[in-house]
Amino acid sequence: MHFRRARADDAPRIADLHTRSWRAAYRGILPDAFLDGPLLQEKQIHWAAKLPQAQADDFILLAEDGDRLAGFIAVWCNPESKAADPYGNYPGAYVDNIHVAPDGRGRGLGRQLLLKTAEHAQSLPDLDPSLWLWVLTKNARALGFYRALGGEIAETITEPLGGATVETHRLVWTDLAALSAACRT
Ligand SMILES: CC(C)(COP(=O)(O)OP(=O)(O)OC[C@H]1O[C@@H](n2cnc3c(N)ncnc32)[C@H](O)[C@@H]1OP(=O)(O)O)[C@@H](O)C(=O)NCCC(=O)NCCS
C-alpha cells in the first residue's frame, strides 16, 4: 500500500470511492432514493471545490494499491478550513471523512489511516492535540471501530441528512499518543 497526500486532480477518484462507500455503508440507514440518486455528481462537485481549498496543515491522504484507490482520509486542521464546515467548530483535528473501499474493509487500512492522521496532528504545534469526528449512531461498524480505538462520545445530535433525520455522535480522542498506540496493535 502506498500513501500520499491528495492533489486537486484526485477529485474524481475520491468522489468515486466516497460514493461507493456511502452506498455500501449507509444502505438501510439513509433512504435508497438518496443513495441511488445523483450522489456521485454531488461528491464530484464537493471534492472539486474542497481539494483546492486545503491548506498546508490540512491532511487529505490517499491509500493506493497500484492504480486502485483503496482508501482515503480527509482531516481539517486549519481553523479556516474547520470554520467552512457548519459542524466543524471544535478544538483539534477534524476527521471529515474516512473511507476504505468496500471490498477492502477489515484488513487494517482504517487503522493505518487514523495512525497517520494522529501523527500528523501531533506534528502541528498550534493545533489542540486532539482528534474528533461525527459518526452516525446506526453506523455500527464504524462506531465499533472507533470505540475499539478509544474514541469517547462527547455529544449526540440529530440532523437532517439525505432526506432523513439521523442521530450522530461526536467522537473525540484527547490522547493522540494513546490513539497511535491503539492503531498500531
Ligand atoms: C470504518 C472504516 C473506515 C474502518 O476501516 P477498516 O479498514 O475496515 O478497519 P480496520 O481493518 O483498520 O480495523 C477493524 C477493527 O475495528 C474493530 N471493529 C470493527 N467493527 C467493529 C465492531 N462492530 N465492534 C467492535 N469493533 C469493531 C475491530 O477491532 C477490528 O479489528 P480486527 O479486524 O482485528 O478485529 C471502514 O470500515 C469503512 O470505510 N467503513 C465505511 C465508511 C464509513 O463508515 N466511514 C466512517 C464514517 S464516520
Q: What percentage of the chain carries pLDDT values higher than 70?
A: 100
Pocket mutation for ligand 1, best pick of 18, 73, 94, 145 (most atoms within 8 Å of C-beta): 145
In DSSP notation, 130-143 reads -EEEEEETT-HHHH
Residue 88 has pLDDT above 90, yes or no: no
> Does the beta carbon of 137 lie inside 6 Å of ligand 1?
no
- Mapped onto helix, strand or coil, the DSSP state of residue 77 is coil
Residue scoring higher pLDDT (84 or 42): 42
- Cα gap 18→42, rounded to integer Å: 11
Residue 51 has pLDDT above 90, yes or no: yes
Whole-number pLDDT of residue 168:
97
Residue 147 CA, ligand 1 centroid: distance in Å = 10
Over residues 76-89, mean pLDDT: 91
Residue 107 has pLDDT above 90, yes or no: yes
Residue 32 has pLDDT above 90, yes or no: yes
Average pLDDT, rounded, for the chain:
97
Residue 11 has pLDDT above 90, yes or no: yes
User: Which domains, from first to last, does the chain contain?
Assistant: 2-184 (3.40.630.30)
> Does the beta carbon of 107 lie inside 6 Å of ligand 1?
yes
The phi and psi torsions of 136 (rounded to 5 degrees) equal -60, 135
Residues forming beta bridges with residue 142, ordered by sequence position:
none
